[in-house]
Structure formats: structure tokens, C-alpha cells
Chains A and B, each alone.
Chain A
Amino acid sequence: MGTTGTPTNITQGSKTKGGIGESTLRPDGTLKVTGEFAYSSDMWHEDMLWGQILRSTVAHAEIVSIDTSEALAQPGVYAVMTYDDLPTEVKNYGLEIQDTPVLAHGKVRHHGEPVAIVAADHPETARRAAAKIKVEYKELPVITDEASATAPDAILIHEGRDDHHIGHVPHPNIVHRQPIIRGNVEEAAKKADFIVKGEYTFGMQDQAFLGPESGLAVPSEDGGVELYIATQWLHSDLKQIAPVLGLPEDKVRMTLSGVGGAFGGREDLSMQIHACLLALRTGKPVKIVYNRFESFFGHVHRHPAKLSYEHGATKDGKLTHLKARIVLDGGAYASASPAVVGNASSLGAGPYVVDNVDIEAIALYTNNPPCGAMRGFGAVQACFAYEAQMDKLADAVGMDRVAFRQLNAMEQGTIMPTGQAVDSPAPVAELLRRVKAMPLPPEQQWLAAGEAADVRQLPGGLSNTTHGEGVVRGVGYAVGIKNVGFSEGFDDYSTAKVRMEVVGGEPVATVHTAMAEVGQGGVTVHAQIARTELGVTHVTIHPADTQVGSAGSTSASRQTYVTGGAVKNSCELVREKVLELGRRKFGTYHPAWATAELLLEGGKVVTDGGEVLADLADVLEGEAVEVEAEWRHRPTEPFDLRTGQGFGHVQYTFAAHRAVVEVDTELGLVKVIELACAQDVGKALNPLSVIGQIQGGTTQGLGVAVMEEIIVDPKTAKVRNPSFTDYLIPTILDTPTIPVDVLELADDHAPYGLRGIGEAPTLSSTPAVLAAIRNATGLELNRTPVRPEHLTGTA
């Protein structure tokens, strides 16, 4: 796989088959290819009812009245609930700021906000009943951008804010503001031989996971509720759900169901509380499954952004300064906006050495759809802008675009604009070198199969719009930097329970965490870690639930690092106990029990010299060893609110892309021919899964480069394309080959030296494609996604 092996701190040999570093196959693979794997939308219960949510048809309005009588009178309808039916004083939820109403109260703040919920015996009955609820709205002016949000007479989206950001924001319609100030930009600008400015726009992207929001709530005899749900973080959901239901957390028992993708879109709650409320109200199990239309309203999106960048460079190509302003549209509710602001600002300079920096990032409250977490989380928008700037600067200086980046590339020891020293490998220049060194796809590849053009290989594809006329090729490069794990002082721990016992004469390890497996392959990696650390072949992965401590979120590229780290740690604790047990049972038989370094390998206790002391099955006979322990990465600290200085991030991760595109300049159609990626992963615990993550992340970046955008009408703040007919994600025809070069430079701070990998490829993919289209067309293209009209000049 083109890896450069470097020694990593593997604590316990890796001789046991199926351990880390091998491309073991998914434990859920067979279930997933036979259709037996139970996703949250597949849950079924006898006497189950179907829930349906009524959502606002307008973006900003006072609710004058709600009449549910006709809906309630429908045969088959068991319950209709509005704000007035909420059982406790806790009526809002939210990841950081509890500003999101479970059901609208007096006002709706965005198109598609939940207003009422219905339970009925058939989904269509529930849908029709919801349609019979009469809501009278008195519409209010909509706030849709920075100007309308911060106007002196602007309506406040949230009156009476008392969250911990209100003290430092310049306007109550700004969720959070984070400046990053370092050096002296004004002085540095005087030394610049070239100054390049740009205004960039990043469109609103949807996670578009394929398994829509869904779950089943089952009331239990003790007055509690069991919730089978697809989420990214069970314990975060639990903290938000229980108070609204008026239940202690131990009476809300959550089990992870099959999750059909996430990409950030399941960090916030969707139907969880609604299903529980209806189940508790009716005393019956209630299932809610969004359809695709509703899914577009049912989760937050990637923040659209306006970015203003000014860079300077000397004539020999060194960056002098950066001045940037990043305005993120957070929509009607806070969601993860504060943390996205932290990322956009602290990573706003990109993977470059620049000593004089003045960056400001803000997130707005508007009446647009709420935005929050999506793969790349604030770093994506910034990367789009600074990489466009790098090309412009290189051109201004008269340098090769890759060489210019390499000249300014950060490395281990570089001080970030936040003052944080980068204290593990940062092979930015090397990744660019590698991605550039890959062979280019042949010119006019559509002729590869013979004399006649294969239109499937051309822009426009089977629409048969060109046989090569008007088609020009372009090549573009980009590189990005992403943080791994939760930052800014967050206590980002994970818990793992590991048990070892003999089953059927064989030593077996069971790993139990609350980690949300959303497709990333965490379950595969957990089993590999257990095999490596405990020397067993058989590992059982217990279903994820809230009967074990939190595993944190499946986001921020953190699960293999943090929950993987927790599994490793608990395995080490189990191993110590197993060895103690062995010493007690067999210590007198061999002096090595007392004197040698002992390992568990291949189902045996062995010395570091390889001498076998005992079978694990004999050591564990009649015993079970179990440890549940929390594990933490090194702590971070918040960014200073005025200067942005602070040790804010746990780890950085880097990827570089080269895009090759062909553009039909007459019709403005783009075909991405190849999207090569080089990424440093620290240590590939499962190489097959690593490549899968890189290719998947790359493709999501491609999507927002050329097709994906939620279109919100600026006059009404209503969503205009909530469907897969109108919101396009890349098909297999839109997606090129994605050769991947994986570099493994260990981070000594991380378990096995690994680096979080899921997000970095989503950053640089988009600007690489944009750079390639600019290269092909000569157009400036300051917004993404690029649509045909931007290329034909008919926009």
C-alpha cells in the first residue's frame, strides 16, 4: 500500500493472528451482506405504533394557534402532542447550549422545525393525521445573513440568552466569536512583496447518510423507556433525553441499533425524544422513521461560510502574514457552532508556517437551517479558502504551486497561530511530494478503449453531450490540516469494559463499549486491539449500550484514538490481572513467572524470549477477569477569548490531494478523472479500513466541489431541494479512481502511534478539485460547489 514503515510503540507483540496492522474483515460483514443486520429503521415490536412529526412550513413566525382536534379524531391515531404536553420544565435540548425546543413554543425559527408529534397504527395514518393539525402562523421577517443578523434593529433569534458565549459576542445573533492573534500583521504586511486577497463562499453541504433518522422507543414496566437508536454518541443523547422525559438516566436504557452512516449528522438529537414521549404517553412501543425529505430537515448541515482572506509573501516565496475573517452561518440553533468556530479559526491558516496572523471566526444565528457537525468540522471551509489563496500567491510570486506550498509547509516543531507547538510528525511537504509523484492518468482517456470515444468517460457522460470537443484538462493540488479529538479543554474520555474467560475450552475476550459503530469499522479495530493485547483469537464485541460508561462521540476522527485507546488500556489492565492469576496458579512451576517480562500470545502466556509458560485456558479455568476503565488522552486547554492562544488540540492530521479534471467548457460540465490522496495515518491499525475512510472522505469533498448544496431561498429561508432528486451526491459514475498513498509516521503521544484519519481527506479534496477546474478554465471560481453556469459565464 505504499507505506513507509516506522517503529511504533506496540506494547505487546503482534504475533497473534488478526491483531493490529492486519486488514481483518468486519465482524458485521456477513450480517450486512445478507440483509440480516438490524438498522434502527428495521426495529419491530408487537403492537408497535408509528410516530410522525409535523414540521413548520415557514422559517420564522409566531405560532398563533395549534388545533389538534381533527388529527386526534382520526381512526388509528393514539396520541397527538404539542409543547403543552411536555411533561417537565425541561423543554429544550442541545449539545452545548440547550436552545433547541423539543417542540416549538410560541415561535418557529427555521423551516421544518418540529411543532407537533403524532402516534398512529400505520405510518400513513400518522402522516395524514399530522397533516390535519392546524397551525396558524404570523410570519416574521427572516434573518438570512450577517447583515440582517447584526443590523441594529434585527429581531433576536433567541431572546434573553444566558449561555457562556453571550458575554464575548458583539451581537446576540452571533453564537460565538473566536479571534486568533499572533505576531504583528500590520508590520508584517509592510514586508510583503505580494499581497493576495480573496472572498470565498462555501455552500451548505448535507451529510446525506443513507440510513435516515429512525428508532424504536419501548416503554418499560418500571416507568422507564428503552430506546433502540442510531446515533453517534449514546451518552450525550441520554443526557439530553432524560431530563425532558423527567426520568433518571438509569431509566432511559439506550442500545445502539444499526447505523446507516453519520458523518456528523447524528451528533444532535433528531427523533429520540419524540419517540420516547409518544411511547410513554401511549404505553406502546413507538417507531419513527424519517423519509429522505424529512431527513433533510431532521439534522443539522455543514455550515455555509463566507471567508475573506489576505495573505502576503516575500519575493522569495515566504509567507509574511495572514488576515482572515470567517463567517459561518449556524442557522436557528447553536448545535455545534461554538466548536466549529474554534476549529475554523484555529486551523484557519492551514498547514503553513505563518508567524503573523489575525483571524476572526464567528457563527451567526439566522433563520436558515441549523448547522453543526459534519466531517471536517470548520476546517473544511477554511481549507477551501487558504488553498485557493496559496495558488494565487504562488502565481503572484512566480513559483510552482506545489513548491510554494512545500516552501511554507509546517513541520514538527512549527508553532501554530494559537501558540501551540506541533509536537508530532507533520509531513506536509512530503505528502505533497508523494501525491505529485503519482503517475498522471493518460490524456484523452476516453479513447482508451478504441477509436470511438467512450462517452461514459467524458463530461456529460451518457447524456452524450461531447465526444471530446471543447474538453480541457486541469490539474490541481491541495493540502489540509485537521485536529483529532474534542478540543479546547473538553474532557474527551472513553470507557471500555474488557472481560476474559474460557468458553468451550478456549480463552475468549469480550469488549464492551458504548462506541457508536456508524460504518467506520471501530468494531473491527477493537477486536484487533484485544487480539494483540490479550493474545486470543476469539473476541466478542458486545453491543454498544448505556450499561457501560461513555465512549464519547464517533466524530472528530477520535474513536480509534480514544475508544481504541480505552480498549487497549483496559486490555492491559486485564492482562496484568491474568498474569497475577497465572502467577498464583502456576508461579511455582517456572522461575520465569517471577523474573521475566511476560506476554500473552497465541492463547498462551509466554516470556519475552518466547518460552511458553501456560495455556491461557488453564490460567483462566474457573475464573473470569473483567475491567471497566476510563481512558483519557492528554488534556487540552481553551483558546484565550481575545487572542486565541492555547494548547487547544490533541493531535493534528494531514492529507494532500491531486485532482485531475476534464471540463466541457461549452456546457460547463466537469468530470473528475482522478483524485489521488496521500495521508499520514501514524499507524494503520486496519489498512483496508484506512483506505476506505480516505476514499470515502475524498468523495464527500468531491461532492461539495461540483454538485452538493442545500439551496435556501434568501427571501423566505425555505429549503428548496430536500430530496436526492435535487440534492445530488456523487454516484459511482461521478466518482473517479482514488489512488491512496499511506504514510505511517508514529505520533508518540497516541496509542500505537496512530493518527485519527476520517476527516482529513474531506478537507483537501474540495480545493484540489476547484484548483483543477481553475487550471482547466482559467476562471477564478471563488465559490463551491461549482455549477455549470459558473463555468459558462451564464450565472
Chain B
Amino acid sequence: MRVNFTVNGRQQEADDVWEGESLLYVLRERLGLPGSKNACEQGECGSCTVRLDGVPVCSCLVAAGQVEGREVVTVEGLADFAKQRAEHGGCATGACGTPGGSGTSLDEAKQWAAKGHDSQTGEGGELSSIQQAFIDAGAVQCGFCTPGLLVAADEMLERTPNPTDADIREALSGNLCRCTGYEKIMDAVRLAAARQSEAV
């Protein structure tokens, strides 16, 4: 089958999709967006977290066909998504945090499009505050959980700009990390929140 949807602000068309394929598989293997990780394929680890019409989901549990006509944001588009949100009063697409969407038109969605980074150096674009905070706080070790955590943490900060520690832990409890013991991840989210509130 063919699936048409928007990924990181760009219209995408995936052909020859087998009905059993997940959104994660289509992103990784058909659209060349391997940033979302496959660590458990059963919705337990959160490594594949993306935003579907603004809502964080485990893309391994979303059938590819379900995303027809919908909007997906992956870690590859996170920086531009966050930038767009900052420029539009806290919401990149108009559908932030509202399950089912709130009638965002495709034209509105197309107002932003992720530019991407150089695949060798990672340079070429600004990082979002949560991405920069993960680097600065030492929240990245092997990094396999990082994309999913970034998408989840960014969404939490969008909803809850000044989270308590308990808020952070609750929001990120669906994302497993095996390297860090989570302390530096806590530091990173606190840092991103503090920097955001300073910037406002």
C-alpha cells in the first residue's frame, strides 16, 4: 500500500508498504529516518517515541496505515519543531498536546520543515534547548534511548514548562535508559526548563 503523511513538516509518500509494517519501520527503513530507535518493538522502552499529531506515541506500536494524512515529528525534526514553536507562541503546528488534532490544515503544518543536520558532523542547524541540555548535562552515554527521551521530554516541557522532579519522572517513565541511572537526564530536563524560563 501507499502511505501519505507529513514527517517533520514535509509531505512524504511511502510506497510498497506491507500492511504489517509499523510507523517505526517505515520511518527507519523506507524514509531514511533512523533516528527513532527500535529497542523492544513492544511499546515498553520508549526509544521509538515520536509525536503523532502532537501526541507522543511509541511508533513501533502504530501501524503504518494509521498515519495516513497525519503529522509525525521525529528526533530529526525536533530542533526545527521547537524553533517553530518558540516563534509561534509555544506551538509549532497548532495541534500541540491535543489528542486527535485540532484541525491543523496541511498548509499550516507545512509552515515549518526540518532542515536536518550534516550526517558526518551533526552540524548545520541549531539544537533545541532539550537537545543542548542533554549534551551539556551529560545525559547522553550510549545514546540509544536519547531520541525517544528527547521527544518525550520536549513534549512534557511544552505542556509543563516548570516541572517538579516528580512531574519529570512521571512524564519520562515510559522511556528506559540503561546507561545513566537517569540522574543526568533529570539534570538535563531541569536545565532545559530553566533555560527556557530564562529566555521567556
Contact = CB atoms under 8 A, between A and B. Distances in A.
Contact of A698 (B35, B143, B181): B181
Given A210-B142, A292-B41, A731-B176, A25 B135 contact: yes
Chain B contact surface mostly:
loop
Contact of A689 (B20, B35, B138, B164): B138
Contacts, number: 198
Interface in B55-98: 74-76, 78-79
B6 interface: no
15 contacts: A30-B117, A35-B35, A35-B147, A36-B76, A208-B178, A210-B37, A210-B145, A260-B143, A291-B40, A457-B166, A518-B142, A691-B184, A724-B42, A732-B173, A733-B170
A469 to B, nearest CB: 20
A735 B182 contact: yes
Contacts of B122: 30-31, 34, 36-37
A732 B39 contact: no
Interface in A107-143: 122, 124
A795 interface: no
A379 B30 CA distance: 46
A462 B74 contact: no
Contact of B179 (A42, A122, A261, A731): A261
Contacts of A520: 141
B142 A292 contact: no
B119 A36 contact: yes
Nearest to A23: B138
Contacts of B42: 292, 723-725
A261 B79 contact: no
Interface residues on B, range: 35 or more
Interface in A1-37: 23, 25-26, 28-37
Interface in B174-188: 174-186
Contact of B138 (A39, A208, A688): A688
A519 B170 contact: no
A34 B117 contact: yes
B150 interface: yes
- Among B29, B44, B181, max chain A CB count under 10 A is at B181
- Among B150, B164, B173, B182, max chain A CB count under 10 A is at B182
B33 interface: yes
A30 B127 contact: yes
A68 B119 CA distance: 41
Interface string B135-155: 110101111111100100000
The 8 closest A-B pairs by CB, nearest first: A35-B35, A519-B142, A260-B144, A32-B143, A695-B181, A30-B122, A699-B181, A724-B44
Contacts of B39: 210-212, 260, 292
A139 B181 CA distance: 42
A136 B178 CA distance: 39
- Among B118, B141, B143, B147, max chain A CB count under 10 A is at B143
A456 B170 CA distance: 8
Contact of A124 (B20, B36, B38, B146): B20
Interface string B9-29: 000000000101000000011
A209 interface: yes
A521 to B, nearest CB: 7
A569 B190 CA distance: 40
A762 B132 CA distance: 29
B117 A735 contact: no
A44 B47 CA distance: 20
B45 interface: yes
Contact of A729 (B35, B142, B166, B178): B178
A34 B131 CA distance: 8
Contact of B76 (A23, A34, A209, A210): A34
A520 B118 CA distance: 24
Nearest to B25: A123
A696 B33 contact: no
Contacts of A735: 181-183
A210 B47 contact: yes
A32 B140 contact: yes
Contacts of B135: 25-26, 29-30, 33
B178 A263 contact: yes
Contacts of B145: 210
B169 A456 contact: yes
B134 interface: yes
Contacts of B178: 207-210, 261, 263, 696, 700, 729
Contacts of A312: none
A774 to B, nearest CB: 23
B123 interface: yes
Contact of B142 (A41, A211, A733): A211
A209 to B, nearest CB: 6
Interface in A182-210: 207-210
Contacts of B184: 688, 691-692, 695
B44 A519 contact: no
A692 B118 CA distance: 28
A252 B117 CA distance: 32
Interface string A39-56: 101101000000000000
Contact of B175 (A42, A211, A732): A732
- Among A462, A724, A732, max chain B CB count under 10 A is at A732
A212 B41 CA distance: 11
B181 A34 contact: no
B172 interface: yes
A738 interface: yes
B12 to A, nearest CB: 16
B34 interface: yes
Contacts of B29: 44
Contacts of A263: 178
Contacts of A30: 117, 121-123, 127, 135
B147 A724 contact: no
Nearest to A520: B141
Given A25-B138, A207-B178, 12 more contacts: A34-B79, A34-B125, A36-B35, A44-B34, A210-B37, A210-B142, A292-B45, A456-B169, A692-B181, A695-B181, A699-B180, A735-B182
Interface string A728-763: 011111010110000000000000000000000000
A369 interface: no
Interface in A652-702: 688-689, 691-692, 695-700
A209 B123 CA distance: 28
A42 B138 contact: no
A289 interface: yes
A719 to B, nearest CB: 16
Contact of B37 (A124, A207, A211): A211
A30 B169 CA distance: 24
A654 B36 CA distance: 38
Contacts of A32: 140, 143, 146
B183 to A, nearest CB: 5
Given A30-B117, A32-B140, A209-B142, A692 B36 contact: no
Nearest to A519: B142
A521 B180 CA distance: 12
Nearest to A263: B178
A484 interface: no
- Among B41, B141, B145, B186, max chain A CB count under 10 A is at B141
